[in-house]
């Protein structure tokens, strides 16, 4: 069985998706989970793109030791230097440099000739090699590049010291046979190609990212790149959970596989969805809510007689057992802490105490606490950022009756520590809350998207709200959970505002140092 390395780019290509903005604590939490999922390489961000990305990549490189941590860089010395400052803490410092090689990109975006592109690529790889033992070089838009030019540039960057060559289908244009053929062409024509790792990176614009990636492996790729839940630019990247499960389930056919911990898939997928606020489509392969649901009578009958009639993947394979009831109102701190540890959380005593308080408050309202509830609660505690003054919800009250105008009264503590109160109406309860909050936060808010979902099952399930908005012209996303969806909505709204405030403060701090 040939081992295929898994390169996860949820925190870089995935984070580039419209509407996602993760803070450092959230990125670190996802990186830790990716380590448990057993990704071979984690692309933690693009250090030179912003102060926030730099900090997150550095923190992840300092913390994660079970996976190689990398960061993206353009082919310029300043990007490579900045990346080194963030990535030098890794066990095996790894950088990912890219440069476009297709005629379209070279002419219109880079405004460079092919000769110039080869020179820049070689120079940047040589420069990176001065510090980094591992240098991945990507030919952006490789699939739409001239195959012979690709052979030439790849040959030169290997000579310059690249250790991995990545050939992306940047715009998701390839079909499986075409994408596979590109790998075969390079394998057959580039001297020394067997000394480096070959990597596949597919986008999903035509829905073929996973199939294309498998075709690349069949034609010599040693590494696959993708994201959890298929997040990514436009239609996203290849979904890693689908790839890993496909290779496992069809091991009768494939002579290769990954070392992904399949039973960490469900949790990884849920965490990414929870923190990014990107819902998973119900019928999504492997991790969708309906992926194991059998609706028609004939299917249910078949399942009862013999599961394999209609089930090729078991929920247990991907670690789907989180709806079990695990704790209740009378559970003590000890049992709570043990469960937190069993779920993989490493929380300080102080954070356990805070989480336990939140658990008790929830257990007072909700009789039975499931693993899903606990996971959300503990994650929320884990991702608390360092204390910075932001808006805090004190109370929310809504008056609603059919035939009357919904009115919300809300009080918050401002970042300056003042108690602010307002009331306002709206055409519905949520709009009344949003209108009131907009007055309180003193800025122009334009709501772009709003969603409420339940966590777990049952009438008393927690409600999660996700709000996507622009605040003073900048886009931001917020999320929060509560047992009441109106409270969750108010908290998610403030969470979006607070993220923006924290980002602004970080930016102005970065300018002063
Ligand atoms: O899709 C792409 O080409 C990329 C590169 C930066 C590797 O994400
Ligand atoms: Zn990409």
Which atom, in ligand 1's list, is nearest to the CA of 171? 1
Distances (CA, A) of 131 to 40, 58, 88, 90: 21, 16, 8, 12
Q: Which ligand is nearest to the CA of 232?
A: 2
> What average pLDDT score do residues 180-197 get?
97
Among the listed residues 43, 85, 45, the one whose alpha carbon sits nearest the alpha carbon of residue 67: 43
How far does residue 125's CA lie from ligand 1's centre (Å)?
17
pLDDT higher than 50, residue 513: no
Dihedral sign for Cα atoms in the order 478, 481, 486, 491: negative
For residue 306, the model assigns a pLDDT of: 82
Distances (CA, A) of 19 to 3, 203, 492: 35, 18, 14
How far does residue 71's CA lie from ligand 2's centre (Å)?
13
Q: Is 38 helix (H, G, I), strand (E, B) or coil?
A: coil
The answer to whether 11 and 32 have CB atoms below 8 angstroms apart is: no
pTM: 0.89
Q: Which ligand is nearest to the CA of 46?
A: 1
pLDDT tens for 194-220 read 999 999 999 999 999 999 999 999 999
Burial of 449 (0-12, 13-18, 19+ CB in 10 A): exposed
Query: What is the chain's mean pLDDT, rounded?
Result: 92
CA distance 10 to 227: 4
> What average pLDDT score do residues 429-450 get?
94
For residue 507, the model assigns a pLDDT of: 65
Query: What are the beta bridge partners of residue 203?
Result: 237
Give residues (CB < 6 A) around ligand 1: 13, 98, 138, 140, 166, 168, 170, 201, 203
Query: What are the beta bridge partners of residue 396?
Result: 410
Which helix or strand (DSSP H or E) is residue 479 part of?
Answer: strand 474-482
Length of the chain: 513
What the block records as the tokens of 25 is 């604590």
**What are the structural domains, with CATH classification, of the chain?**
2-276 (3.20.20.70), 292-317 (no CATH), 333-382 (no CATH), 392-512 (3.30.160.270)
CA distance 83 to 4: 26
Which atom, in ligand 1's list, is nearest to the CA of 72? 6
63: number of Cβ within 10 Å: 14
CA distance 217 to 14: 22
How far does residue 36's CA lie from ligand 2's centre (Å)?
23
How far does residue 11's CA lie from ligand 1's centre (Å)?
13
* Main-chain phi, psi angles of 254, to 5 degrees: -90, 145
The answer to whether 256 and 217 have CB atoms below 8 angstroms apart is: yes
Which atom, in ligand 1's list, is nearest to the CA of 203? 1
Categorize the per-residue pLDDT at 382 as very low, low, confident or very high, splitting at 50, 70 and 90: confident
Which residue's CA is minimally distant from atom 8 of ligand 1? 13
Binding positions for Mn(2+): 13, 201, 203, 237
pLDDT higher than 80, residue 386: no
pLDDT higher than 50, residue 36: yes
Q: Is 310 helix (H, G, I), strand (E, B) or coil?
A: coil
pLDDT higher than 60, residue 29: yes
The answer to whether 282 and 288 have CB atoms below 8 angstroms apart is: yes
CA distance 382 to 219: 42
pLDDT tens for 322-351 read 556 678 888 889 889 988 888 878 888 888
CA distance 384 to 504: 18
> What average pLDDT score do residues 83-110 get?
98
Which residue's CA is minimally distant from atom 5 of ligand 1? 140
What the block records as the tokens of 158 is 């290997």
> What average pLDDT score do residues 134-149 get?
98
């Amino acid at each position: 069985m040939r081992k295929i390395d898994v390169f996860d780019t949820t925190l870089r290509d995935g984070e580039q998706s419209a509407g996602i903005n993760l803070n450092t604590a959230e990125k670190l939490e996802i990186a830790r989970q990716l380590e448990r999922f057993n990704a071979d390489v984690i692309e933690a961000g693009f250090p030179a793109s912003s102060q926030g990305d730099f900090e997150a990549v550095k923190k992840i490189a300092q913390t994660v030791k079970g996976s190689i941590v990398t960061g993206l860089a353009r082919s310029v010395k300043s990007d490579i230097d900045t990346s080194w400052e963030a990535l030098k803490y890794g066990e095996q410092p790894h950088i990912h440099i890219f440069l476009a090689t297709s005629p379209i990109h070279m002419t219109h975006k880079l405004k460079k000739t092919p000769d110039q592109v080869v020179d820049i690529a070689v120079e940047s790889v040589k420069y990176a090699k001065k510090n980094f033992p591992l240098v991945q070089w990507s030919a952006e838009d490789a699939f739409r590049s001239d195959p012979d030019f690709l052979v030439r540039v790849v040959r030169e960057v290997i000579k310059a010291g690249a250790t991995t060559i990545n050939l992306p289908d940047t715009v998701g244009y390839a079909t499986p046979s075409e994408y596979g053929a590109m790998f075969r062409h390079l394998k057959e024509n580039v001297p020394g190609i067997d000394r480096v790792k070959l990597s596949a990176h597919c986008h999903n614009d035509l829905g073929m990212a996973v199939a294309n990636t498998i075709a690349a492996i069949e034609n010599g790729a040693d590494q696959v790149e993708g994201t959890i839940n298929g997040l990514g630019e436009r239609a996203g990247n290849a979904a890693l959970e689908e790839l890993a499960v496909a290779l496992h389930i069809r091991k009768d056919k494939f002579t290769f596989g990954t070392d992904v911990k399949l039973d960490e898939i469900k949790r990884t997928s849920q965490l990414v969805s929870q923190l990014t606020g990107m819902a998973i489509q119900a019928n999504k392969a492997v991790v969708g809510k309906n992926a194991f649901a059998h609706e028609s009578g004939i299917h249910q009958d078949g399942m009862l007689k013999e599961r394999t009639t209609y089930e090729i993947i078991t929920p247990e394979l991907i670690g789907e057992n989180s709806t079990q009831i695990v704790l209740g109102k009378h559970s003590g701190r000890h049992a709570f802490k043990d469960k937190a540890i069993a779920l993989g959380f490493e929380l300080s005593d102080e954070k356990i105490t805070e989480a336990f308080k939140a658990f008790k408050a929830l257990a007072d309202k909700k009789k039975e606490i499931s693993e899903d509830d606990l996971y959300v609660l503990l994650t929320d505690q884990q991702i608390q950022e360092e204390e910075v003054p932001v808006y805090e919800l004190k109370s929310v009250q809504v008056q609603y009756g059919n035939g009357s105008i919904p009115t919300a009264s809300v009080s918050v503590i401002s970042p300056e520590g003042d108690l602010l109160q307002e009331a306002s109406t709206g055409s519905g309860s949520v709009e009344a809350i949003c209108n009131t909050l907009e007055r309180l936060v003193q800025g122009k808010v334009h709501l772009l998207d709003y969603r409420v979902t339940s966590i777990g099952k049952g009438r008393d399930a927690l409600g999660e709200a996700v709000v996507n908005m622009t605040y003073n012209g900048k886009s931001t996303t917020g999320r929060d959970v509560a047992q009441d969806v109106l409270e969750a909505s108010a908290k998610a709204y403030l969470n979006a505002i607070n993220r923006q405030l924290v980002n602004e403060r970080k930016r102005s701090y970065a300018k002063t140092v």
